[in-house]
Amino acid sequence: MNFDDTPQEAAFRAEAKAWIAANAPKQYEDELRKASLGRVALQGANILEVAKAWQKKKADAGWACLHWPKEYGGRGASPIERVIWQQEEGPFGRLSSMFIIGHGMCGPTMMAFAGEEQKRKYLPPLASGEKVWCQLFSEPAGGSDVAGLRTRAEKNGDEWVINGQKIWTSGAHYSDYGILLTRTDPTVAKHKGLTMFFLDMKSPGVEVRPIKQASGASDFNEVYFTDVRIPDSQRLGNVNDGWNVSLTTLMNERMSIGAGVATGFPELFDFCNSLILDDGPAIENRAVRSKLANWAVKASGLKYTSMRAISALSRGERPGPENSIGKLVAGSMIQDVATYALDLQGAAGA
């Protein structure tokens, strides 16, 4: 693995840097930079509108979903070029968080299983942020056990009729389309009776109810389906082959959630650099330094693990289970880091 840019990569980086400097919504830079640990929100501006405007601007100049083929709204860039773009986009990349499901999971699934005409119709507006997509897998009775889902799809002529309920659907409340995993055969083993579709979230019979989280925000939803009709042409993969189709989605989910995942470490390090404790600067306290060092190597280990995954990807290998490490480690680390940042402040931390 090499950490220096090749001459071509350096030229690509310079081009990206120059374009971002000339076009990024600079007025939000500070807010976005500070927003990394919590939810991205902007004072006095609608985040979705700002995000969509930035995404469209990128798409028009060829910087959206840049690793996608040109005919689907990308620029056919290499995985390494995509990483370089992400590094250069920096805090403005946080505006992409509402597109991550669509770009990271729905797009790759459509690319693998939709017809050519559909791909040319649906993928470019997905890349440009004009249409937002969500992923409808989890259900109340089976969160981790996705294959145990119960939402039914029954064939009726050229259409399928959907009845059931999904939950934990990120962004369903502002999504235009979704990919939907359903049960089409309840008589066979649970992995064998599933079928995948994509649908218009504005279809009659779709009801979206936001879930209020501990933070007070609503990122997830419950989604109810009552006699929702989907044309058979919007089926992804064969009937009862939905489990295989969903594995493509989930492998891509691991990649998109695992890579470059937030750990809270850079923020904690900055915080400790400025915090003064009773006995002097926090950064000079032995106990604090030991904690920081332990989190530092986890954060760098995660970063280089995702770089290794990208290297593997650029050699043509498929994303594998090692990409689960990001979510596994960062998920509990960010909790520990935040708890420690509060602890250092004593009662004022509350």
Partner 1 sequence: MGFLGVAIPEQFGGAGAGHLELCVIAEEMGRALAPVPFSSTVYLAAEAILIAGSDAQKQKWLPKIASGDAIGTLALFEGKGNPSPKAVKVTANGGVLNGVKKPVPDGAIADFAVVAARTGSSGRESDISLFIVDLKAGGVEVKSLTNIDLTRGQAEITFKDAKAEPLGATGEGWSVITQVLDRAAVLTAFEQVGGADRALEMGRDYALDRIAFGRPIGSFQAVKHMLADMYVSATLARSNCYYGAWALSTNAGELPEAAAAARISATQAFQHCAKNNIQVHGGMGFTWEFDCHMYYRRANAVALGLGSLSYWEDALIDRMRKKNAA
10 lies in the binding site for partner 1 (CB under 8 A) = no
What residues contact residue 320 under an 8 Å CB cut-off, 6+ apart? 251
* Residue with Cβ nearer partner 1 (77 or 302): 302
Catalytic: which of 89, 253, 284, 322? 253
Name residues contacting partner 1, limited to 294-313 (CB under 8 A): 294, 296-298, 300-305, 307-308
Both tokens of 70, joined, read: 């040109």
Rounded to an integer, what distance in angstroms lies between the CA atom of residue 201 and that of residue 68? 24
Contact 102, 126 (CB under 8 A): yes
Stretch that binds partner 1, among 17-25, 76-84, 290-298, 342-350 (CB under 8 A): 290-298
Other Cβ atoms closer than 10 A to 28? 22
Question: Judged by CB under 8 A, which of 273, 335, 339, 345 binds partner 1?
Answer: 273
9 lies in the binding site for partner 1 (CB under 8 A) = no
- Rounded to 5°, angle at Cα 307 from 302 and 308: 95
Alpha helices in 128-241 (DSSP H): none
317 phi and psi angles, rounded to 5 deg: -85, 155
Contact 39, 220 (CB under 8 A): no
Across 261-290, b (16+ Cβ under 10 Å) vs e yields bbbbbebbeebbeebebeeeebbebeebee
What are the C-alpha distances in Å from 103 to residues 5, 55, 77, 132, 252?
26, 12, 15, 9, 10
Rounded to an integer, what distance in angstroms lies between the CA atom of residue 283 and that of residue 310? 34
Examine the residue annotation and report whether 159 is marked as an active-site residue of this protein. no
329 lies in the binding site for partner 1 (CB under 8 A) = yes
Stretch that binds partner 1, among 138-146, 180-188, 216-224, 320-328 (CB under 8 A): 320-328
322 lies in the binding site for partner 1 (CB under 8 A) = yes
* Residue with Cβ nearer partner 1 (187 or 290): 290
283 lies in the binding site for partner 1 (CB under 8 A) = yes
3-state helix, strand, coil in the chain (%, to 5): 55, 15, 30
202 lies in the binding site for partner 1 (CB under 8 A) = no
327 lies in the binding site for partner 1 (CB under 8 A) = no
Pattern 24-63, binding to partner 1, x per CB under 8 A? ----------------------------------------
Other Cβ atoms closer than 10 A to 148? 13
293 lies in the binding site for partner 1 (CB under 8 A) = yes
Minimum distance, C-beta of residue 15 to partner 1, in the bound complex (Å): 25
286 lies in the binding site for partner 1 (CB under 8 A) = yes
Question: Judged by CB under 8 A, which of 51, 59, 180, 292 binds partner 1?
Answer: 292
Minimum distance, C-beta of residue 164 to partner 1, in the bound complex (Å): 30
Catalytic residue annotation: 253
Report the interface residues with partner 1, using CB under 8 A: 1-4, 269, 273, 283, 286, 289-290, 292-294, 296-298, 300-305, 307-308, 322, 325, 328-329
